[in-house]
């Protein structure tokens, strides 16, 4: 059946694996660093999230290429698909200098959070290396959007798996200093992340330029400026970019609020947020798959098939979420102890009970995660990006205000702060469900059938 579980699974599974690999890259870096000391793990958490936040607008902007490529494919304009990717490359190059110019602002935020020097200096170092190498993952994201949009997600999975393995190998060698390599600590973790991403980019580029792909999509004629496609990316991708920027900015604020409460709270929150990332990021694979399928069927004017793919994506996501629920609810101590330093550490021992409690509390919202990302992916794929942006930004900053109020003003416990974040998420999940089932997205049209095919 069009949009059925089998079609959705074939498209989604490689992307889910890809997202799991991306999660593993970040998780591996922090896990290796935790063997040295919790401060380095915390530094990688805050520095890495800040670097992602700095490029998040352009990441979301060009990431909308997935939906746009899918819509052109569904409408029968194959030669337009690579044009979208070329314009995405142009946007990355145009915006990147602005991102670098904002680097001092991140330093100012770090300096005003009153972090211990054991965390602050390596945090700045990790942030710098990732930011200066940011074009690598940005270009990789552009090419991944092409293959996700046309439904060939296996190549994205292969690239992500290679990136994960390369990153893990370099971390093993350079973070801990095995086989005669120098122990570079957090610098080695950053080098591993960028080298892994570069290897994934190379694989995608080879696949993109192979003869069969060049012929089918007329790729060699796509390397030119297209004001028409640029306008579509800016119009429909900017809300997604702003939403992603807000998400990372607010997430970074949440991290820094926890970290400003002392090393013990910082360590507990870092462990919890690491596992929260592990539970959430693979679900983005279902979101991307649903965005692609909804975009394709909306381009073909079949909203009924688009709805089928949404329901299929939600069912598949729930299966994954049940596994995470069991782990968080019944095995939290085991998950927390993965971050135990090799040598005894008082900070970790004091943080351990709080981290375990936070993991158990997270099980409250785990089953809603899959439905949330699938509905958001459907709205984006149909072109309802402005509403999705407005709701997400409101939700993100409501979480920040609630957390800051409880921890910094009322001086309550980190457990109370974490519960406030969960409560806000559940409220806004209900609003997303209402928007989707209202059905207004079914009337939206991004691609007009009379648009000319690019030569």
Out of 233-242, 397-406, 415-424, 438-447, which region has the weakest mean confidence (pLDDT)? 438-447
User: Which pLDDT does position 210 carry in this prediction?
Assistant: 94
Q: What is the pLDDT of residues 189-234, one digit of tens each?
A: 899 999 999 999 999 999 999 999 999 998 999 899 989 899 989 9
Q: What is the pLDDT of residues 103-123, one digit of tens each?
A: 999 899 888 877 777 888 889
Q: How many CB atoms lie within 10 A of CB 5?
A: 16
Residue of 407, 431, 432, 429 lying closest to 418 (CA atoms): 407
Query: pLDDT band at 185, cuts 50/70/90?
Result: confident
User: Which pLDDT does position 453 carry in this prediction?
Assistant: 41
User: Which pLDDT does position 451 carry in this prediction?
Assistant: 46
User: Which pLDDT does position 83 carry in this prediction?
Assistant: 94
For 133-157, give one letter per residue: b (16+ CB within 10 A) or e. bbbbbbbbbbbbbbbbbbbebbbbb
Written as six digits, the tokens of 417 are 């702060």
Q: What is the mean pLDDT of residues 150-167?
A: 91
Residue of 9, 6, 11 lying closest to 296 (CA atoms): 11
Contacts of 231 (CB under 8 A, 6+ apart): none
Higher pLDDT, 36 or 206: 206
| Contact between residue 421 and residue 402 where contact means Cβ atoms under 8 Å apart | yes
The Cα 345–Cα 341 span in angstroms is 7
Q: What is the pLDDT of residues 427-446, one digit of tens each?
A: 999 998 899 888 888 887 76
| Whether the model pTM is above 0.85 | no
The highest-confidence range among 105-109, 129-133, 150-154, by mean pLDDT, is 129-133
| Contact between residue 53 and residue 193 where contact means Cβ atoms under 8 Å apart | no
| Contact between residue 62 and residue 233 where contact means Cβ atoms under 8 Å apart | yes
Q: Is the pLDDT of residue 1 over 60?
A: no
Higher pLDDT, 54 or 302: 54
User: Which pLDDT does position 148 carry in this prediction?
Assistant: 87
Query: pLDDT band at 452, cuts 50/70/90?
Result: very low
| Contact between residue 57 and residue 241 where contact means Cβ atoms under 8 Å apart | yes
Place of tokens 């299966």: 319
Q: What is the pLDDT of residues 307-353, one digit of tens each?
A: 888 888 888 888 888 988 999 999 999 999 888 876 667 888 899 99
Positive or negative, the CA dihedral 342, 343, 344, 350 is negative
User: Which pLDDT does position 32 carry in this prediction?
Assistant: 81
DSSP codes joined into one string, 353-382: HHHHHHHHHHTTTHHHHHHHHHHHHHHHHH
> Quick one: how far is CA 404 from the chain centroid?
24
Domain ranges of the chain: 5-443
Planar angle of CA 164, 165, 170, nearest 5 degrees: 100
3-state secondary structure at position 384: coil
The Cα 69–Cα 54 span in angstroms is 25
Out of 32-36, 57-61, 186-190, 228-232, which region has the weakest mean confidence (pLDDT)? 32-36
DSSP codes joined into one string, 249-295: HHHHHHHHHHHTT-HHHHHHHHHHHHHHHHHHTTHHHHHHHHHHHHH
The Cα 446–Cα 332 span in angstroms is 45
The Cα 69–Cα 146 span in angstroms is 6
Residue of 83, 216, 69 lying closest to 144 (CA atoms): 69
User: Which pLDDT does position 141 carry in this prediction?
Assistant: 92
> Quick one: how far is CA 235 from the chain centroid?
21
End-to-end CA distance of the chain: 34
What Rg, from alpha-carbon coordinates, does the chain have? 21
3-state secondary structure at position 118: helix
Mean pLDDT of the chain: 86
Higher pLDDT, 336 or 74: 336
Q: Is the pLDDT of residue 3 over 60?
A: no
Residue of 70, 76, 78 lying closest to 449 (CA atoms): 76
Written as six digits, the tokens of 265 are 């709270």
Planar angle of CA 252, 255, 259, nearest 5 degrees: 135
């Amino acid at each position: 059946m069009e949009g059925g579980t089998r079609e959705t699974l074939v498209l989604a599974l490689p992307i889910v694996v890809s997202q799991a690999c991306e999660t593993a890259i970040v998780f591996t870096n922090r896990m290796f660093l935790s063997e040295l000391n919790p401060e380095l793990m915390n530094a990688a958490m805050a520095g890495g999230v800040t670097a992602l936040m700095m490029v998040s607008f352009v990441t979301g902007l060009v990431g909308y290429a997935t939906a746009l490529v899918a819509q052109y494919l569904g409408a029968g304009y194959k030669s337009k698909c690579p044009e979208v990717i070329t314009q995405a490359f142009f946007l990355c190059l145009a915006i990147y200098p602005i991102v670098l110019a904002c680097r001092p602002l991140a330093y100012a935020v770090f300096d005003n959070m009153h972090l211990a020097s054991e965390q602050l200096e390596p945090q700045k170092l990790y942030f710098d290396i990732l930011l200066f190498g940011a074009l690598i993952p940005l270009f990789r994201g552009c090419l991944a959007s092409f293959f996700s949009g046309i439904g060939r997600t296996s190549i994205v999975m292969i690239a992500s798996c290679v990136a994960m393995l390369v990153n893990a190998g370099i971390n093993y060698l350079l973070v801990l200093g095995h086989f005669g390599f120098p122990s570079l600590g957090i610098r080695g973790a950053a080098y591993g992340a960028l080298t892994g991403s570069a290897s994934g980019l190379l694989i995608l580029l080879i696949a993109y330029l192979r003869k069969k792909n060049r012929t089918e999509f007329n790729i060699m004629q796509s390397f030119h400026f297209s004001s028409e496609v640029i306008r579509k990316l800016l119009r429909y991708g900017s809300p997604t970019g702003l939403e992603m920027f807000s998400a990372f900015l607010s997430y970074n604020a949440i991290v820094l609020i926890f970290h400003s409460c002392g090393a013990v709270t910082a360590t507990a929150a870092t462990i919890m947020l690491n596992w929260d990332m592990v539970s959430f990021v693979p679900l983005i694979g279902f979101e991307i798959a649903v965005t692609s399928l909804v975009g394709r069927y909306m381009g073909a004017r079949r909203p009924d098939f688009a709805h089928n793919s949404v329901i299929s994506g939600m069912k598949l996501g729930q299966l994954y979420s049940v596994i995470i629920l069991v782990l968080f609810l019944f095995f939290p101590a085991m998950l927390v102890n993965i971050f135990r330093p090799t040598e005894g550490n008082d900070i970790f021992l004091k943080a351990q009970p709080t981290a375990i409690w936070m993991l158990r509390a997270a099980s409250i919202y785990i089953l809603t995660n899959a439905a949330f990302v699938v509905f958001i992916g459907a709205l984006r794929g149909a072109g309802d990006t402005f509403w999705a942006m407005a709701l997400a930004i409101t939700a993100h900053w409501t979480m920040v205000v609630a957390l800051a109020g409880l921890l910094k003003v009322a001086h309550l416990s980190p457990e109370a702060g974490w519960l406030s974040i969960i409560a806000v998420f559940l409220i806004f999940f209900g609003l997303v469900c209402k928007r989707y089932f209202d059905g207004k997205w079914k009337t939206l049209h991004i691609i007009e059938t009379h648009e000319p095919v690019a030569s």
